[in-house]
Amino acid sequence: MAPVVKMTEEEDYLSLLDRAKIACPEITENHERFELPELDILQEGKITVFRNFIDVADKLRRDSTHLLQFMLKELGTPGNIEGRRAVFKAKISPQTINDRIQTYTETYVICSECGLPDTKMVKEDRTLMLECEACGARRPITVRKTSHTESLNTLKEGDIIEILITDLGKKGDGTGKYYDYLIVAPGAVKGTRIHAKITKISAKTAFAVPTTEPCTR
């Protein structure tokens, strides 16, 4: 009869650990950062065309109509979908559109627990919930209340806007309106449309200099 070999506690633990490793399935983790396609924005006069709008909606795995409704409300402008494009009836900077897409992504797509985009929207009673298919987390969708008055109409120093010079001030400076701001642009000619860089703001009067730089608003 073969002698019985007694295992020490440490050897017994290591043996069990080896068995557990063999039994466990191999897990491949994917920590790739979620990235949207680069936004393809074209400005045509007073119209802004979001040329790859549907591609972005597909990447987000969200209904294009839902995304469009969110964008129109945030931007404070009418618009519609034409083919794979979204057309906004206002001149809107690519940065502003990009900011709104990021807000939509954080609100309606990204899981707040694991940070992945593998989510879906579900209705629970009267509450819209975001359910993560990766980690199982659920949270109510809370829409950040913003007004386009705050986001689009508020100027700050360094902004570059496009305005029509409609009049001349007492000192001969060109003046024009941007929402509820009076823009004063020295050297600007009445009747011309210019790009103007904001240099100083006093209440609802903004001082600007003509520039060839592209608009940021």
Q: Which CATH number fits domain 41-149: 3.40.50.1000, 3.90.1150.10, 3.30.70.3150, 3.40.50.10490?
A: 3.30.70.3150
Environment class of residue 10 by beta-carbon count within 10 Å: exposed (0-12), middle (13-18) or buried (19+)?
exposed
DSSP lists the bridge partners of residue 207 as 184, 200
- Which pLDDT tens digit goes with each residue over 46-55? 899 999 999 9
User: Per CATH, which fold does 153-211 belong to?
Assistant: OB fold (Dihydrolipoamide Acetyltransferase, E2P) (2.40.50)
Q: What is the pLDDT along the chain (217 residues), one digit of tens a residue?
A: 555 555 555 556 566 656 655 655 444 444 456 788 999 999 888 899 999 999 999 999 999 999 999 999 988 889 999 999 999 998 888 988 999 999 999 999 999 899 899 999 999 888 899 999 999 999 999 876 654 444 556 788 999 988 899 999 888 899 998 877 899 999 999 999 999 999 999 888 999 999 988 887 7
- Type of residue at 19: R
Buried b (16+ CB within 10 A) or exposed e, 174-187: bbbebeebbbbbee
Domain with CATH 3.30.70.3150 in the chain: 41-149
Cβ count within 10 A of residue 135: 13
CATH 2.40.50.140-classified regions of the chain: 153-211
Quick one: which of 211, 175, 214 has its CA closest to 191? 175
pTM to 2 decimal places:
0.58
pLDDT tens per residue, range 126-175 = 889 999 999 999 999 987 665 444 455 678 899 998 889 999 988 889 99
